[in-house]
Structure 1
Amino acid sequence: MPPPLDPQDLYAADRPGQLADAVRGFPARVYVPNTESDTVSVIDPATYQVVDTLHVGRQPQHVVPSWDLRTLWVNNDLGNSLTPIDPATGTAGDPVDVHDPYNLYFTPDGRYAVVMASADHQLVFRDAHTMAVVKTVPTDCAGVNHADFSPDGRYFIVSCEFSGELLKVDTAAMTVLAKQRIPLDGSMPQDVKISPDGRTWYVADMKADGVWVLNGDTFAPPTLLPTGRGAHGLYVSRDSKSLYVSNRGEGSISVLDFATGTLTAKWQLPGGGSPDMGGVSADGSVLWLSGRYNAEVYAISTADGHLLARIKVGSGPHGLCVYPQPGRYSLGHTGVLR
């Protein structure tokens, strides 16, 4: 695994303008998978206009940068396939057969893709380039969906949406080390993010209406930090100081200060909305989020939280990807770069 540029900041490689050589020259675009339209809307962030619509497989859930940053993979969950997009040209290639690819991650050494096979209750380790199956790991939990990796890459933590559980997985051994149930009846954990210093994990929970705070090393029971109704997505600011939390159920975004572990702001979308998944612009000035139940995308200023644009897209927009982004390699999801 490439070591962190700064041992005290896992996101030190994600500063504005720090684009890897592999992505220099790629046009800036926002790729939006529309789960109910079976399409990907392509937005030009400079004009806030949809400039292309790509037809992909059935129920695309997330658009995921490959570990080497050269390919975007569209996760066609019910289509049982991954559609590659060339970010240099914006064109879609032939789909690759992959069963139940709800979400997709990559091991920090770049060797393996990890498919979050939600309906199959499995983590499927595959060759990162050919997508051939290497090992299938039963999870014994329902709805595996999001994850993040420890600073040294030795383990990762996975949320299980439909059984309210968390898994701790040994990356090299490809085995589940531990499992715990979140201490709230009806819990539905979603996105997972580790703090810049690597000591604290955050897990959004849309039924707990907040973020669970966890020590990944000890894997002790987490504590809840309330943020807003339907807490869902987690995104790190380009200066590594803040965590943006999308509260899908109330149309707001909470801002958490990593240094203090406290909330410093809440941004309400004017007229409401359903902010879901997305990412931060390459220069750090805009937070892009899909409006899951409103067939729209939100561009939000990270300076003060005001809405810059509301863009109509297909039906059921979900895990949108802002691309290119700063960073040396991708751990997957909608752009977890380090």
Structure 2
Amino acid sequence: MPLQIPHPNIPLHLYRHMLREATYLPPLCRPWITSRIQARFRDCCDTENPNFYIKEAHQKLRYLRSANTGHIERLRHLCFLATGRVGKRRRLLGRAELSTLPATSSAELDEMAKHASEKQRDPDWMDNWSIEKVKAIAFSQSSQQDADWPHRMRKGVDPMRELPTENCFGRPISEKLIRNKLKKHWAAILRQLLPPLPQGEWDQLGVMARGEADSQHYIIPARRPVAMPISQPPSASSEAQTSSWKDFVTAPVRSLERGSSRSMKSLTGDEDKDPRGRGRPTGLRVLNRRKLCRGIYSRIWRASPQLDKNPRSGKWTVTWGGQEHQPLSPPRKKDLQFFQGIDKTGEPVQSVS
């Protein structure tokens, strides 16, 4: 079983184990996860006390092995990280796709300079963001979001309904206070916003979600055989994993048997010591083409917006993946008997007399 691979104690060997596990991931998230492993190792390799990062790396290694074993929720989370629905790439995409566009002509540059001179305040971080884009995606996300999306948009998106018009004394609030409340409002919106994907990546994700991509996007690489140490006999590793009587005296039984529970088996790889056991681990699925398309790729595509600007009105329109009509899949051969006498539209076939 792949999860029975021992965890190395040397940081360089741990780094190689994580890179090896990344090669078994689907092609959608494999490049990003590999780059993040390499970047994190370079950032932490020169630290004076690396024990904290080594412990974190062991946890991430267990997470990768559980995802490769077939835990669909953890594998979907890795794909969310790679496509920018959560994590660092989400912040990078938001900064790249939702920032204020530079002036394309002298007239736009003069207009931007005029608006900057009219402002009676110091520049802040909101000046670098296109609030029109953020508002368009936020309104659309609040109406289109599903329960399985990684982020849920708040209901109150319009700042005009959220901000007060006067203080407790019945007087109008100052411009500085309005600006501070606006920054707080849009900061909360940005924490829940799903940024748009680049056009090419969005189109490719749609092709993969519909099952029209190349077969290489739906093939999980086979795990290579595990190298066994020559000097250590097989019985030594099994004896090291068994708990001694001192553990049962000094620790509760629930903490000792927590690793062999059904919810933790895919992370720890522990086996049932009792032959009756607790059963198979929960959350594991067979990662075939159907499961990747419907369980991962289509859900990510539905949570990925695309922004387009109307050249006449200048307004931004938001398009979410999977909004077009999805045709019904053809029935299987053994189910064709239930569809005899019905055409493709579902209407009865009229017999010609």
Q: With structure 1 as the length reference, what TM-score do the two structures score? A: 0.21
Whose RCO is larger (CA < 8 A, sep 6+)? 2
Q: Rg larger in 1 or in 2? A: 2
- Kindly indicate which of the two structures has a greater share of residues assigned to helix: 2
**Which of the pair is proportionally richer in strand?**
1
